[in-house]
Amino acid sequence: MSITVRFRHDFPGFSLNAAFEAGSNGVTALFGPSGSGKTSCINVIAGLLSPAEGFVSIDGEILLDTEQGYNLPASRRRVGYVFQDARLFPHLTVSGNLDYAARRARPRPQSSERAAIIEMLGLGHLLDRHPRSLSGGEKQRVALGRALLTSPRVLLLDEPLAALDQGRKAEILPYLETLRDERRVPVIYVSHAIDEVARLADDIVLLNDGGVAAEGPVEEVLSRLDLFPLTGRFEAGAALRATVASQDAQTQMTEARFSGGSIWIPGLASEIGQPLRLRIRARDVMLARTAPDAISANNILAATITEFREEPGPYLDVRLACGDSFLLARITRMSRERLSLEPGDRVFAIIKSVSIERATSERTKA
């Protein structure tokens, strides 16, 4: 399953020229600052925006080809779209909203399918309610269910969490993860929040300045120092793939193993062997020339410095190779001088806190 997109469109004030491939790996994030054209990209895929020039195809089937003058209307593209503001129909109940999609889907979803989606998203007790009586999070879940019931070839999510507060976001993220893990539908996820992207995406397309700045697997792109201004300097960090190696019931800690060693995390309810995605913020990583002894941090990993990223100001970003993976550390220039750090140096990375995202890897590499 692959989605090919390339187009050019002029907006008042700026011109957008994007080209990328998506979908081969599950969730592709479209990431970039506000106004960089992320929503326009999915609008082009959905057919809601007809660019001046463009080409869109899903799995070989052409949806848009301006050179040939071909433009399949949005209503025929079989693309599921979840909007930032849910956009549930106020004159229908939740059940009515779901049926609206199901009735127009080709092929029609089976009733078992409908039941499964309702179950997965926890909509059972909401079916007779009207949208105006739902909370923001509930609305988004219904919107998700509605989009899924169109038997879509691809699911487009436009910053689905942006309109929600922290509590609601935390409530929905698990549903999105389940969605990613259990459905076979590729997802394109638009966001300007790096933690959402790190948690959910497999691949990432970075948009900036009217074009695509980078694309690739999320661990790799997020750890690239040259992309820091885009990947969010304060939140910058590495994304690691690891597996649950063991659980210590007594201290309630979980051991996650990856190619560079083991990382201990406060108790996760995961099974041995379960794939995990870890996100380690650069500012949480300390460097040492020698392995410290009596120190509280549980994670001391051997790593090699591969490069520095200089910038004006007191800070300095360091990229480290750790096994086959990469880590990022943010230190001061003062520290570098004091320790005389150079690329190629073998050091120890000390990690105190880790942000954990769970992921199963049943991603079919299509």
Binding mask 242-261 toward other proteins (x if CB under 8 A, else -) reads --------------------
Interface residue with other proteins, options 78, 114, 192, 330 (CB under 8 A): 78
The answer, yes or no, to whether the previous bond of 229 is cis (omega within 30 of 0) is no
Tell me the one-letter amino acid at 125.
Answer: H
Q: Which is nearer to other proteins, 105 or 300 (CB)?
A: 105
Q: Which is nearer to other proteins, 187 or 282 (CB)?
A: 187
Interface residue with other proteins, options 147, 188, 206, 207 (CB under 8 A): 147
Which two tokens mark 213?
């700045």
Q: Which is nearer to other proteins, 85 or 209 (CB)?
A: 85
Interface residue with other proteins, options 25, 36, 150, 325 (CB under 8 A): 150
Q: Which is nearer to other proteins, 72 or 297 (CB)?
A: 72
Binding mask 94-133 toward other proteins (x if CB under 8 A, else -) reads ------xx--xxx-----------------------xxx-
Segment interacting with other proteins (CB under 8 A) among 71-79, 182-190, 267-275, 322-330: 71-79
Q: Which is nearer to other proteins, 38 or 224 (CB)?
A: 38
Judged by CB under 8 A, the chain residues 155 through 214 that form the site for other proteins are: none
Segment interacting with other proteins (CB under 8 A) among 50-58, 74-82, 218-226, 340-348: 74-82
Least distance in angstroms from the C-beta of 146 to other proteins: 7
81 near other proteins, rule: CB under 8 A? yes
Q: Which is nearer to other proteins, 155 or 172 (CB)?
A: 155
Phi/psi of residue 288, each to 5°? -145, 150
Segment interacting with other proteins (CB under 8 A) among 4-12, 53-61, 79-87, 212-220: 79-87
Interface residue with other proteins, options 87, 233, 333, 358 (CB under 8 A): 87
How many residues touch other proteins under the rule CB under 8 A: the total is 29
Q: Which is nearer to other proteins, 14 or 89 (CB)?
A: 89
> Do residues 316 and 309 touch, judged by C-beta distance below 8 A?
yes
80 near other proteins, rule: CB under 8 A? yes
89 near other proteins, rule: CB under 8 A? yes
Q: Which is nearer to other proteins, 155 or 327 (CB)?
A: 155
| C-alpha atoms less than 13 angstroms from C-alpha of 228 in its C-beta half-sphere | 21
Q: Which is nearer to other proteins, 130 or 309 (CB)?
A: 130
SS (H, E, C) the chain: CCEEEEEEEEECCEEEEEEEEECCCCEEEEECCCCCCHHHHHHHHHCCCCCCEEEEEECCEEEEECCCCEECCHHHCCEEEECCCCCCCCCCCHHHHHHHHHHHCCCCCCHHHHHHHHHHHCCHHHCCCCHHHCCHHHHHHHHHHHHHCCCCCEEEEECCCCCCCHHHHHHHHHHHHHHHHHCCCCEEEEECCHHHHHHHCCEEEEEECCEEEEEEEHHHHHCCHHHHHHHCCCCCEEEEEEEEEEEECCCCEEEEEECCEEEEEECCCCCCCCEEEEEEEHHHEEEECCCCCCCCCCEEEEEEEEEEECCCCCEEEEEEEECCEEEEEEEEHHHHHHHCCCCCCEEEEEECCCEEEECCCCCCCC
- Residues at the interface with other proteins (CB under 8 A): 46-48, 73-81, 83, 85, 87, 89-91, 100-101, 104-106, 130-132, 146-147, 150
